[in-house]
Chains A and B, each alone.
Chain A
Amino acid sequence: MSAVVSGLEASSQSPTWHAATRLLHNRSFLIGAGLVLAIALMALFADALAPFDPLRNSFRTRLLAPDGRYWFGTDHFGRDILSRVIFGARISLTIGILTALLTGIAGTLIGATAGFFRPLDNPVMRLMDALMAFPAILLAIAVAAVLGASVTNVIIALAIATTPHTARIVRASVLVVREQEFVLAARALGASETRLLFRHVLPNALGPLIVRLTYVFATAILAEAALSFIGVGPPPPAPSFGSIIAQGRDFIAEAPWITIFPGLAIIISVLGLNLLGDGLRDVLDPRMRT
């Protein structure tokens, strides 16, 4: 502890700002952020970037190998794969973001309740355990099959499948924070339980959740591909990474480019998100702080 009583230069930099500076020195975060940003920009400006209409069929351009005109080749309907991948990023990223957002909200509410209000801990978490006993992808398939194939339903299915684990992570970090002295101090000043939870405990417990959500984002992109592949994903003709691969399945011997390029797009997005998550974890995880 410093014996200096008054360092007069009152720089007002929040903990968030400190974390941000550390992030900018973290290589895996930078690479991950770069990759994710590239994919995100691609999705955002798909209309300007895509050389062709991703939905336009043409018999004359069926199953063309990649060349100067069709960089990624064409599929069995003569649609440009590059354009489909660019537009596919839109659906895939939307699914990833919304799934992460939904599971983040649901997981926080469930996990915080269980971790903060002791009597609810057991019933709530045992229910989550039961859900976790199902393999996530199986659960997603079941939900998507019941609700029907649409982008919204895929998001709902994936959010349900990823929420138990998220809730467990939030609960764990709430359990740690709630025992800290500043929570007792706030209680000693008459803060109500809900106020304690939302003002004092949760803001200090969100680090692990942010990291978790980057993984949920990546998992959702992969899971969407898996769901599309078995036919319960977003319905055709709208392209998503998964649905392009699924449609290329029958032509994998003659026209492997249909599957290879969306596959690469998945690899890049997931790799980017995982690197981003690793970087965030290194910076936000208290155990790794020095």
Chain B
Amino acid sequence: MTRPILEIKGLTTTLANSKATVLEDVSFSLQPGEVLGVVGESGSGKSMLALSVMGLLPKVIRRTAGYIILNGEDLTGSPPEHWREKRGRDLAMIFQEPMTALNPVMRVGDQVAEVLRRRGVPAEKARQETINLFMQVEIPSPEQRVRAYPHELSGGMRQRVMIAIALAADPKVLIADEPTTALDVTVQAQILDLLRKLQRERGLSLLFITHDLGVIAEIADRVLVLYAGRVAELASVRKIFDSPQHPYTRALLASIPQTKGPRGRLVTIEGAVPSVGTMPKGCRYAPRCTFRRDICEQEPPRLGIVGPSQAAACLQPFGFEQPQEEALA
């Protein structure tokens, strides 16, 4: 394996006042040109993970342990100014809400050009390059659209602008935080296709955050399943869907509505994600787990290798011989 472009080791973030952990001991790596999907429910710490990597954690949350290594360089100890240098050059991010993530009083072309200019592209060239980028993200009549204000564009168009802005940074690592969640289903598919196309063409290393396993299946090479701030499972996308090892991953998969077979009640996971500060002592998923045993509540399970390119944090992973249907039934 080549050297990872981004490596997270034992990342732990804590609420500054209550010492409650938001993310705990999160480790993973992102290879160049790879798409790593991060899945989890609301409150699982997905967005906090993204902000940690960007060095943009809100003031009330602190990184208390772990390393963030970008392209071989440890960023954890670096001053804010150095981190800022990385943003918009080596790191870029696409946000969930294209409605609110664009400056309403700036022409969208200027918002793209701003990023180019910061990389030292001269004004005239930046204008050309902006139109180029608009073409790459498949915005029709880019020459006119660069002069538009965000409110004049539809949600899908705005998200394309957001992607163009991120591409303008020509980042080593691109983080997409639920880029399709706020969009209509048809537009979602278009944006997803676009992102996948751009990722392949440019060999982008993409950290793709979502709560939608369908989206993960479409775009990711590997998947990181987060539960209540901890890694539940980390495996190739194929393994996640074919032989999930963590009960939580299974439950997530089982709760995807099926269009085939008899209709019944939607499968749900009982209970809710424990809130920050009220985490159970042992496995954080134990209270909702149907396979729970007494030892699960004693101490947190460590992320362990459970098969080729698959790791799960469970004391009793399912193993491969067990047919999947049985566990889902």
Binding site for B on A (CB under 8 A): 1-8, 10-15, 180-182, 184-192, 199-200, 203-204
Contact = CB atoms under 8 A, between A and B. Distances in A.
A184 B182 CA distance: 18
Interface centre among B99, B102, B106 (most CB of A within 10 A): B106
A262 to B, nearest CB: 41
A10 B161 CA distance: 15
Given A2-B154, A5-B156, A188 B87 contact: yes
Interface centre among A3, A184, A189, A199 (most CB of B within 10 A): A189
Given A11-B152, A188-B92, A189-B115, A203 B87 contact: no
A204 B100 contact: no
A8 B100 contact: no
A15 B186 contact: no
Contact of A182 (B56, B102, B140, B157): B102
Given A3-B187, A15-B104, A187-B56, A181 B95 contact: yes
B93 A188 contact: yes
A187 B183 CA distance: 23
B151 interface: yes
A12 B144 contact: yes
Interface in B98-128: 99-107, 114-115, 118
Given A6-B157, A188-B56, 17 more contacts: A1-B182, A2-B154, A2-B155, A5-B156, A6-B140, A8-B141, A15-B105, A15-B149, A180-B100, A186-B103, A188-B88, A189-B88, A189-B92, A189-B114, A189-B169, A200-B103, A204-B103
B7 to A, nearest CB: 20
A249 to B, nearest CB: 49
Q: Would you call the interface of chain A mostly helix, strand, loop, or mixed?
A: loop
A82 B84 CA distance: 63
B226 to A, nearest CB: 20
Contacts of B84: 190, 192
A189 B104 CA distance: 17
B87 A204 contact: no
5 contacts: A5-B157, A11-B152, A186-B103, A188-B56, A190-B88
Given A5-B157, A6-B157, A187-B87, A13 B152 contact: yes
Interface centre among B93, B103, B118, B186 (most CB of A within 10 A): B103
B118 to A, nearest CB: 6
In the A-B complex, the 9 residue pairs with the closest CB atoms:
A190-B88, A10-B144, A190-B87, A189-B88, A181-B100, A185-B101, A188-B93, A1-B155, A12-B147
A260 B85 CA distance: 65
B240 to A, nearest CB: 28
Nearest to A204: B105
B213 interface: no
A180 B87 CA distance: 19
A30 to B, nearest CB: 25
Given A1-B184, A184-B56, A203-B105, A10 B147 contact: yes
B48 interface: no
A14 B100 contact: no
Nearest to A206: B105
A276 B145 CA distance: 34
B103 A182 contact: yes
A10 B145 contact: yes
A8 B101 contact: no
A1 B154 contact: yes
B155 A185 contact: no
Contacts of A189: 87-88, 92-93, 114-115, 118, 165-166, 169
Interface centre among A4, A11, A186, A200 (most CB of B within 10 A): A186
B190 interface: yes
A15 B106 CA distance: 9
Interface centre among A6, A10, A187, A190 (most CB of B within 10 A): A190
A107 B276 CA distance: 41
B1 to A, nearest CB: 29
Interface centre among A4, A181, A185, A200 (most CB of B within 10 A): A185
A147 B56 CA distance: 49
B230 interface: no
Contacts of A200: 103, 106
B135 to A, nearest CB: 13
Contacts of B149: 12-15
A81 B116 CA distance: 62
A5 B186 CA distance: 10
A188 B107 CA distance: 19
A190 B85 contact: yes
A190 B89 contact: yes
Contacts of B104: 15, 182, 204
A199 B106 contact: yes
Contacts of B118: 189-191
Contacts of A204: 103-105
Contact of B187 (A5, A10, A203): A5
Given A6-B157, A190-B88, A182 B101 contact: yes
Contacts of A4: 154
A281 to B, nearest CB: 18
A117 to B, nearest CB: 13
A5 B165 contact: no
Interface in B138-175: 140-141, 144-145, 147-149, 151-152, 154-157, 162, 165-166, 169
